[in-house]
Amino acid sequence: MCKHTFVLWSDGPVCPVFLSGQAADSVLRRHKRYNTGVFEELLQGNLERECIEEVCDLEEARETFENDEKTMEFWAGYVDGNQCKPNPCLNEGSCKDQVGDYTCTCVSGFTGRNCEIARRCDVNNGDCMHFCESMGTFGAKCSCATGYKLMQDGVKRAHEGKGTTVICSISCRYSKLFSPSFIQVALVARSSGQLFCGGSILSERWIITAAHCLVEAGGSFSIRVGKIHSRHMIRKLCLKWSQHVHPRYNATVSLYNHDIALIYLKTSITFSTTVRPVCIGPKAFTEALVKGSSPATVSGWGRTRFLGATASTLQKVEVPFTDRTECKHSSSARITSVMFCAGYYDEAKDACQGDSGGPHTNSIHDTWFLTGIVSWGEECAKEGKYGVYTRPPVAGSDFSPAFPQGWREC
């Protein structure tokens, strides 16, 4: 077996390999990291000792802060620098540093990764969950239906809680399980016991219906709530205390113009998972929703066909919004500014006699809003004809101040 011998040499003078003890000590000297005689593991974490004098790992940083949130806040800037310096968020947005990234929290009216986009109500509803209000150069401001409040991002909504006495507190909580029967009421003539119109629950004491229903009733009637079968709809029977037709409604001039009425009940409706009020929104929001969230849901116990028998169980149908020009051309009667059309040109899907006063509803983000009131039509589902609905007098409309105080509270 052969051995190879390697010899290192230098043309210069040969230096000694070993240093003196004093010289070696000067090379190997290090900063003290703990008090003499104490094990490092027994010391509480110290930021200067662990992560400034030396490079530390995540576990050592966690021992220092003893709090995961503070640890990660420090770690984000320690590992790769602070991504928020300088602040990349525009329009007064606040920046939160992350490892290799950052997030911007935008002030109301702006959106985008760097808050660079001014929200617009006419684009995706300003990214608002419910209502959007234009703020000009300041973008858009989001707000919520009664019973909801804005989250910190100013866009999403959170329910205010079961204990808060507000409209829609029950309706919106269970809105994913929505059924027209939840908000629907029946107007029943006392003399005959016959159901003649529908209506919608606005609050524990207020019902909204069509004004012509009260004119045609001609006498006393009751409100029935809580069942979908007309013969057994006796879970809750409410007596009316007072009724208020729209101040501009005049049946002698037009039976259907401003066809809205409110009924105030003697006793309160008890809300539950299957009995609840419908939500309402501002005028601009409602008008945009009825067009942008088509088709809408219409319900009632009316006739199943023109001059046919009334339904024994609550019926519902989805009807699309009809272009206003098409709506006017299709009708032999005048379509006023407070009316709109919905339905099909040649499909047998429509509201009919007995459905008047009932709800026309649209949803947005699992929240249902009243967008119309069943009013009138030329026969039912007649080819070339559409159902005609009254726009609800929502807050902000030109005639809502004339309604009772209870209406404005709704």
CA 57 to chain centre: 43
Please check whether residue 200 lies inside any domain of the structure.
yes
356 is catalytic: yes
The one catalytic residue in 259, 330, 355, 375 is: 259
Domain that holds residue 392: 175-409
Residue 215 lies in a domain: yes
Question: What is the pLDDT at residue 408?
Answer: 38
Torsion of CA 228, 230, 232, 235, to 10 degrees: 60
Q: Give pLDDT tens digits along the chain (410 positions).
A: 444 444 444 454 555 555 555 555 555 554 444 444 433 443 445 555 566 656 677 777 677 777 777 777 776 667 777 888 889 999 889 998 887 789 999 887 787 899 888 777 777 777 787 888 877 766 777 877 766 666 655 555 554 443 332 333 333 334 445 677 788 999 988 888 888 999 999 888 889 999 999 998 876 888 888 766 555 554 556 666 788 888 899 999 999 999 999 998 888 888 887 888 888 888 888 888 899 888 999 999 999 888 888 888 899 999 999 999 999 999 999 999 999 999 999 999 999 999 999 999 998 877 888 999 999 999 998 999 999 999 997 654 444 444 444 443 33
Asked whether residue 53 is domain-assigned, the answer is no
Q: Which of 286, 287, 381 is nearest to 343 (CA)?
A: 381
The total of other beta-carbon atoms located within 10 Å of residue 237's CB is 13
What is each CA distance from 350 to 115, 255, 260, 311, in whole angstroms?
46, 20, 20, 14
Q: What's the token pair of residue 407?
A: 């209406």
Residue 305 lies in a domain: yes
Inter-residue long-range contacts of 224-227, CB under 8 Å, 24+ positions, other chains counted: 224/185, 224/186, 224/188, 224/195, 225/185, 225/186, 225/201, 225/269, 225/275, 226/181, 226/274, 226/275, 227/181
β-bridge pairing 261-265 and 236-245: antiparallel
Does the residue 127 lie in any domain? Answer: no
88 in a structural domain: no
What does each C-alpha distance from 255 to 252, 375, 381, 388 come to in angstroms? 7, 10, 21, 13
Q: What tokens appear for 275 in the block?
A: 């009995």
Task: Exactly one of 181, 203, 230, 356 is catalytic; name it.
Answer: 356
Going by C-alpha positions, the residue among 117, 119, 89, 118 that lies closest to residue 101 is 89
- CB neighbours of residue 30 within 10 Å: 7
Which residue from 372, 351, 349 is spatially nearest to 362, judged by alpha carbons? 372
- What are the backbone dihedrals phi and psi of residue 50, each rounded to the nearest 5 degrees, phi first? -80, -40
**Is 20 within the bounds of a domain?**
no
Choosing from 212, 244, 246, 360, the catalytic residue is 212
What would the two tokens of residue 5 be?
Answer: 């011998």
How many folded domains does the chain comprise?
1
What's the pTM value of the predicted model, to 2 decimals? 0.64
Residue 395 lies in a domain: yes
Question: Which CATH number do you get for residue 218?
Answer: 2.40.10.10
Two structure tokens written together for 250: 């005049």
Provide the pLDDT for residue 339: 97
Catalytic, 259? Answer yes
Q: How is residue 41 annotated by DSSP?
A: G
Name the token pair of 15: 């230096």
**Alpha-carbon distances, residue 359 vs 84, 124, 244, 323, 333 (angstroms):** 51, 25, 18, 20, 22
